[in-house]
């Protein structure tokens, strides 16, 4: 086992177990927790058995394990970019809606809407 494997394997395994325990305790969304656990366990496995990526890549028709990892990282990057772009856009929309509501509320406090008052009668125009 190389020095890199001695350092990174226990870290990846610990993070995978931590993610699994958090998933089991219900601290994370199920799908995200499952994917995070799967990712850390896969990382620990590929650190411990480096040729596993090459074997998987060959079965999928990809020449090298490095290419497989590169493709997976590219897909994960694109997915996360779209995910976070959607989140940021939604957050910006909510901030805009809140700002508009706050501006209207403050304007109504500063300038209350005009309400005409009924004319006051002096009592002389009453007919019995």
- pLDDT at position 124 is 59
Query: Which comes out higher in pLDDT, residue 41 or 122?
Result: 41
Q: Is it the case that residue 27 has pLDDT exceeding 90? A: no
Per-residue confidence at 67, pLDDT binned at 50, 70, 90? Answer: very high
Q: Phi, psi (5° rounding) for residue 27? A: -80, -15
Q: Phi, psi (5° rounding) for residue 58? A: -65, -40
The 10s digit of each residue's pLDDT in 105-124 is 999 889 887 777 877 766 55
The two structure tokens encoding residue 17: 């177990």
What is the Cα–Cα distance from 46 to 124, expressed in whole angstroms? 99
Helix, strand, coil distribution of the chain in percent, nearest 5: 75, 0, 25
Number of H helices, E strands in the chain: 4, 0
Planar angle of CA 31, 73, 78, nearest 5 degrees: 75
Give me the half-sphere count of Cα atoms (radius 13 Å) on the Cβ side of residue 46: 15
């Amino acid at each position: 086992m190389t020095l890199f494997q001695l350092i990174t394997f226990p870290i990846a395994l610990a993070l995978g177990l931590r993610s699994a325990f958090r998933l089991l305790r219900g601290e994370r969304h199920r799908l995200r927790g499952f994917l995070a656990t799967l990712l850390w366990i896969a990382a620990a496995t590929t650190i411990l058995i480096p040729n596993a990526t090459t074997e998987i890549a060959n079965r999928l028709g990809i020449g090298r394990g490095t290419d497989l990892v590169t493709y997976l990282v590219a897909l994960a990057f694109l997915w996360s970019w779209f995910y976070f772009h959607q989140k940021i856009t939604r957050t910006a929309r909510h901030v805009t809606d809140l700002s508009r509501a706050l501006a209207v509320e403050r304007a109504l406090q500063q300038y209350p809407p005009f309400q005409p008052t009924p004319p006051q009668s002096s009592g002389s125009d009453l007919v019995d």
